[in-house]
């Protein structure tokens, strides 16, 4: 991805009233039917909105006052937080709703040794638990028809590197992954969340994620959300989650 292009798109979000998904003021249509958030979006337009607010509003599927349902554009999957999620899909006889928006790779259990003599995972990874997780993901991507960057693929790498590297992570998108470092995708103008295994299963099956308002109350007020550095916003969020108390904002 060219950084000039990414900067231009981010600039559009910050200055203009439209988004990369829908012209401003129009009702959106999702896989679940017409959006019920048009009124909310129009009300929000009466005052300046941050980049975060614009992306959130464009992806809001429903809000019942207790929780918000947000559409997910990009789902990154790796071998550690996905085995139980795929098992849950099997038990529920469900498939992956958007395979074209799901990218899988192995990175947590991959040895750092030279792979020039790699024959297969079975013989290359000596540690039993690591080998089992990698082999299980290989089986899962076959069963569910997902794009996979395996150990023999030159595109394989750390999941948070290959997303931006391959143009999978994009400005204006909601991105999730079963890993706490997912927040770093905010540096590319994405709203990015690290999620747990049960949420991995939910996103695989539905392509949406639920946010409880009680959890959202941990955020600063809407007008004080830090955005002079979009990436620092997500580091701020990570600090809240890990330390259970707000850290001083750095922007």
The reported pTM is 0.69
Element (H, E) at 113: none
SS3 97: coil
Pick 5 or 72 by higher pLDDT.
Answer: 72
Say whether pLDDT at 23 is over 90: no
Residue pointed to by tokens 């994620």: 209
Burial class (CB in 10 A: 0-12, 13-18, 19+), 65: exposed
Closest CA to 178 of 103, 239, 121, 234: 103
Output the six-digit token pair for 73.
């554009």
**Residue 1's pLDDT band (boundaries 50, 70, 90)?**
very low
234 neighbors 192 (Cβ within 8 angstroms)? yes
Output the six-digit token pair for 48.
């300046």
Residue pointed to by tokens 């290989």: 138
pLDDT for 65-74, tens place per residue? Answer: 889 999 999 9
* Mean pLDDT estimate for the chain: 77
> Mean pLDDT across the stretch 91-114?
94
> What pLDDT is recorded for position 43?
58
- Does the domain at residues 74-208 carry the CATH identifier 3.30.499.10? yes
Residue pointed to by tokens 């600039």: 11
d(CA 236, CA 250): 8
DSSP 67: E
> Mean pLDDT across the stretch 12-35?
41
> Mean pLDDT across the stretch 9-16?
45
Torsion angle of alpha carbons 170, 172, 178, 184, nearest 10°? 70
Pick 117 or 228 by higher pLDDT.
Answer: 117
186 neighbors 169 (Cβ within 8 angstroms)? no
Domain range annotation of the chain: 74-208
pLDDT for 198-250, tens place per residue? Answer: 999 999 999 999 988 776 555 544 433 333 234 334 433 433 333 333 333 33
Of 48-62, 91-105, 217-231, the least confident: 217-231
Element (H, E) at 60: strand 60-63
């Amino acid at each position: 991805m060219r950084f000039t292009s990414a900067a231009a798109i981010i600039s559009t979000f910050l200055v203009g009233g439209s988004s990369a998904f829908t012209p401003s003021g129009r009702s959106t249509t999702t896989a679940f039917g017409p959006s019920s958030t048009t009124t909310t979006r129009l009300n929000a337009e009466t005052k300046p909105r941050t980049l975060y607010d614009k992306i959130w509003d464009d992806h809001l599927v429903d809000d019942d006052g207790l929780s918000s349902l947000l559409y997910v554009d990009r789902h990154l999957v790796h071998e550690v937080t996905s085995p139980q999620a795929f098992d849950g899909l099997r038990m529920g006889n469900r498939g992956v709703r958007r395979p074209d928006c799901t990218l899988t790779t192995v990175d947590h259990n991959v040895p750092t040794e030279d792979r020039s003599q790699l024959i297969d995972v079975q013989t290359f990874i000596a540690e039993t638990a690591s080998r089992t997780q990698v082999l299980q993901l290989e089986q899962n991507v076959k069963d569910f028809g997902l794009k996979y960057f395996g150990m023999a693929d030159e595109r394989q790498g750390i999941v948070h590197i290959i997303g931006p590297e391959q143009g999978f992570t994009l400005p204006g998108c909601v991105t999730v992954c079963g890993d706490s470092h997912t927040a770093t995708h905010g540096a590319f103008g994405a709203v990015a969340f690290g999620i747990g295994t049960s949420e991995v299963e939910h996103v695989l099956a539905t392509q949406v994620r639920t946010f409880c308002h009680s959890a959202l109350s941990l955020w600063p007020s809407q007008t004080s959300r830090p955005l002079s550095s979009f990436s620092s916003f997500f580091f701020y969020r990570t600090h809240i989650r890990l330390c259970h108390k707000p850290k001083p904002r750095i922007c």
